[in-house]
Chains A and B, each alone.
Chain A
Amino acid sequence: MTLPVKPTKQSTTPLTTPLRYTFIFSFLMIICLMPILAGLYFELYRNTEKSARLRLQAEQSFFSRQTQNVATIDSLFHDTRVIALHDAPPAIWQQQLTKTTIKLTDKIIAELDWSRYQLSDDTLVTLIPDTNTLIAIPIQRKHATLILLQSLLYLSVVVLIVMFIFALVVSSRIMRRIDNIDYTAKEILAGDIKKRIPVFGYDEFSRLSQTLNAMLEKMQTLMADLRQVNNNIAHDLKSPLNRLRSRIEVTLLNPRNNEEYRHVLAQSIEDIDDLLKTFNALLLMGNLDSNSRNYQLKPLALSQLLTDMGDLYSAIAEDKQQTLTLKIADDIQILANKNLFAQAIGNLLDNAIKYTPDNGSINLSAMQQADTAIIIIDDNGPGIPINQHKVVFERFSRLDKSRHLPGTGLGMALVRSIVKAHNATIKLADNHPGLRVEIRLRAMPRALSDNQGQ
């Protein structure tokens, strides 16, 4: 094992993801504000002119109500300019006839020196009726624009500052949670596989942490299982190899005659065949479990297969004075790989016969309930303690009391792999006394199976 390196708590990089997002967001917000402000600007533009017109009208009527003496007249608004008529250019004279308010243009301003009236082209002018006086009122549009631009600037700055503070707060909160997960992950990476992510509160992060913790828990048990299986494999394969080696070694100690060599070699081949069988079973299980090979499932006459299997195994049952009873319903059809399924049933029958004492009884039954085929193998032997029901399906997991009996310790594991590959379920139960194994899988509909036949 490598020395666990203590992971350092990562310093938060200045530009974290939430911060980046906030900047992008505030930028987008400012862009969105632009058309609103533009609309506002045009509204203001129109309104300032409108209000200038209204003021001019008010000023006009105010003036007409006053005495005709221009020199003494008062203006209503402080920015009203009063202009003597003789100073005005002809354009205004023409306008005066129609008595409308006009806007000063650069051309009009250029025609006379109006500088003393301090007027710009942004001014409305009108004639007070029956007098020789013009009044002018600036629209003050430029002023309004300035105010608008200023407020836009202030708004942007305020938005940015608020966003930045908000982003910093959110980012530091999120980064703290992420750092927690990151730190734990690094500790696990460094070898401390028992480490778990601390969980606070009930938010998304605690949910994520809980899920990750559950995953770590599961992986830890799987790893422990795998290690156990590896140890078992190593142990179970080591002893026959040792046996083989020592036999050959002893044979080579002294010169022997051909017959003896032949005998030892034949024995060795038998041992090697057993080892090969174990490896083949392991490979087959690996293939089945990983689904890496395509085992085609085809319609199979289950009743026929079980009857054949029963016939095959009844001979060894009878040798042990056991009774193997078949109760197999007719015409059950399933989708299966015949050889694999036969292997599974064979292993189960083999176990039942092996573990049930002499004079015991074993039943192999099969029935169909709706669209489910049920295969039951039960015996009145010693059974398996309930807490061991799961263990027997593990590779090389032989119950202590069966250690002395021949077998690879892979039989039930292979059964489980085959059953899984057929989308079937297998259940162990107490048979009071004995063991009851129940396999359930989908049966083919009768009408269909009649057509396809065997």
Chain B
Amino acid sequence: MKVLIIEDDKSVALSLVKGLIEKGYSAQTVADGDSGLLQAQTHDYDVLIVDRMLPKRDGLSIIKTLRSQGNNTPALILTALGEVDDTIEGLESGADDYMKKPFVFAELLARLKVLTKRTTPSNDTMITIGDLNINKITRQVSREGKILHLQPREFDLLVYLASNRGETITRQMLLENVWGLQFDPHTNIVDVHISRLRQKVDKDFRDPMIRTVRGIGYLFDRPAR
């Protein structure tokens, strides 16, 4: 998996490279906007990590240019805390995700994994994972043939987890993608919702599908036999 990091803060870039190589990625760094754009245009990458404020050319402009040239390499934008805080603007430019510095590396990793997978979007109306069946049209969920009665939000939560099966999903990602909210809730609010979902999806069955990843978030996959 090849990652291009366009970041002018050397220490951030260095720790990113170190962490990514540790996790089996191959990573390259570029320190300014123009050479970043050139590098992204001339080489193939699986994902781009782009700082928002860069010398010579800002991060959003890089992504806009790439998209206009038909380059759809998934991109994640990084912003310093307190910079113009506008997720929408970031996403409108064609970026696929958005993170604030200082970030937690595990969170970044989780998002990168989801991003690289998203390049092959599944528009299936049915999701089947092991003995779990989700129908996105009728919003019906069944496990081992038994119908599960989920609240609308619980259904959304399950669909998000299921579409990213096998990937670690952080609490922040759940809050953003299921509730459309991006803030720091202080409390274990997402955990409470997950535990409710567990009550319905996992409790009455032998093998749990929702697993807790300590210190990071959750992972959803077919029961490990």
Residues of A within 8 A of B (CB): 266, 269-270, 273, 276-277, 280-281, 283-284, 287, 293-296, 298, 308-309, 311-313, 315-316, 319, 337-340, 342-343, 346-347, 350, 354, 407-408, 411
Contacts and interface: CB of A to CB of B under 8 A. Distances in A.
Majority DSSP secondary structure for residues of B touching A: loop
Contact of B192 (A269, A316, A343, A408): A316
A316 B186 contact: no
A313 B193 CA distance: 9
Interface string B134-146: 0000000000000
B186 A350 contact: yes
B179 A308 contact: yes
Given A308-B181, A316-B188, A340-B85, 13 more contacts: A270-B215, A293-B83, A293-B85, A296-B85, A308-B179, A311-B153, A313-B189, A315-B189, A316-B187, A343-B184, A350-B187, A354-B187, A411-B186
Query: Sorted from nearest, which 7 A-B pairs have the closest CB atoms?
Result: A343-B183, A315-B192, A287-B82, A342-B183, A339-B182, A293-B82, A342-B181
B24 interface: no
B224 interface: no
Contacts of A337: 85
A311 B196 contact: no
Contacts of B116: none
Interface of B: 81-88, 102, 104, 153, 175, 179-189, 192-193, 196, 214-215
Given A315-B189, A315-B196, A316-B189, A346 B81 contact: no
Nearest to A345: B183
A323 to B, nearest CB: 16
A293 B153 CA distance: 34
Contacts of B187: 316, 350, 354
A342 B189 contact: no
B216 to A, nearest CB: 10
Contacts of B215: 266, 269-270
B125 to A, nearest CB: 25
Contacts of B88: 298
Nearest to A344: B183
A266 B106 CA distance: 12
Contacts of B85: 293, 295-296, 337, 339-340
